Amino acid sequence: MAYHACFNKTYCTKVKFHKSLPGYIFTVLFIICLFKANAQLSLQDSLTDAQTKNNVAVLFNGSVKGNAGLYNGSEYLYGGHNVTGSPYFKSSDILSGSVYYDGNLYNGVSMRFDLVTNELVILDYTKNFPIKLVTSKLDYFIIDSSRFINAGNNYGFSLPETAGFYQVLYHYKTAVFAKKEKQLVLSSKLDENDSYYKEFDWYYIYADNKLYKVDNEKSVLNVFKERRSELKKFIAANKIKFKKNFEDALIKTSAYYDQIQK
């Protein structure tokens, strides 16, 4: 009589055991066959696991590429649930831009600029989790064509605050900056959900090696007082309305001042 110690056709060969063989020899041969099959399975599992790890590494390297230094920040937690409006610059949507961070320039970065916390928020390499960048490492960034500089850096002049970001609205002979901020205004009644974000904007002109804070047409003309007459004619001829759109009027007036300035 013969016995077939074969539990897997792929990994075990057919072995004949004669009735005359002692039982312990049958047991030893069966264990050897089992060990051989498990060893082959383990080898395939190891190769599969190695391939999976390699695929993950390729995915990571392909996503990060030369941007590894950019993903150096801390977790950003979304806030303002059930609040009217957005805490972000321009839009709550993710915008694209460039970041000069820790001595390197990164282009095509997905980002939001939180005007409540004054933090730049990007997505990690998987595009699933938000990261807030370290302000001290962030020299400047451009978000949706709008440029912001870090007030803590030395640009040859001092901005009013030593921390935070200022938008560069115009820069030629003179420069125009805006400090933008949003605050969460909580509902006055506990049983009502009417909390909202309110934006505050402050504007500055840098001219003649001095920084001036401006908030209306008169204060702008006082900065450019030696050309006040020409500027007033320009403003009237072009129907520039400071009360309607102060930011646009400020940029156009400053640009014209640089144009006529000797």
Q: Of 42, 64, 86, which residue is a domain's last?
A: 64
Q: Of 64, 90, 115, which residue is a domain's last?
A: 64
Residue 255 three-state SS? helix
| Mean pLDDT score, 82-111 | 92
Residues 201 and 100 in one domain: yes
Two tokens, residue 141: 């960034």
How confident is the model over 194-214, as pLDDT tens digits? Answer: 889 999 999 999 998 899 999
Choice among 32-46, 75-89, 142-156 with the minimum mean pLDDT: 32-46
**Structural domain count of the chain:** 3
- What are the φ/ψ torsions at residue 252 (nearest 5 degrees)? -65, -40
Q: How far apart are CA 222 and CA 208, in angstroms?
A: 13
pLDDT value, residue 152: 81
Residues 167 and 39 in one domain: no
Choice among 1-5, 36-40, 138-142, 176-180 with the minimum mean pLDDT: 1-5
Cβ atoms < 10 Å from Cβ of 124: 15
pLDDT value, residue 168: 96
Q: Of 46, 64, 82, which residue is a domain's last?
A: 64
- 247: domain range? 215-262
Residues 152 and 258 in one domain: no
Residues 94 and 196 in one domain: yes
Average model confidence (pLDDT) for the chain? Answer: 79
Of 207, 183, 209, nearest in space to 196 by CA: 183
Residues 156 and 199 in one domain: yes
Residue 257: what residue type?
Y
Residues 49 and 86 in one domain: no
Residues 77 and 199 in one domain: yes
Residues 187 and 77 in one domain: yes
Residues 141 and 94 in one domain: yes
Q: How far apart are CA 141 and CA 147, in angstroms?
A: 6
Query: Could you tell me the pTM of the whole model?
Result: 0.72
Two tokens, residue 214: 């401006």
Choice among 25-39, 67-81, 141-155 with the minimum mean pLDDT: 25-39
Location of structure tokens 């420069």? 175
Of 229, 249, 233, nearest in space to 241 by CA: 249
Q: How far apart are CA 211 and CA 229, in angstroms?
A: 22
Residues 257 and 195 in one domain: no
Residue 36 region by backbone torsions, left for phi larger than 0, else alpha for psi between -120 and 50, else beta: alpha
Kindly provide the b/e burial profile for residues 54-66, where b requires at least 16 CB atoms within 10 angstroms of the residue's own CB: eeeeeeeeeeeee
Two tokens, residue 80: 């303002």
Two tokens, residue 136: 């001290």
Provide the pLDDT confidence category of residue 43 given band limits of 50, 70 and 90: very low
Residues 156 and 206 in one domain: yes
Provide the pLDDT confidence category of residue 66 given band limits of 50, 70 and 90: low
Residues 74 and 200 in one domain: yes
Indicate whether 155 pLDDT > 90: no
pLDDT value, residue 162: 65
How confident is the model over 219-254, as pLDDT tens digits? Answer: 999 999 999 999 999 999 999 999 999 999 999 999
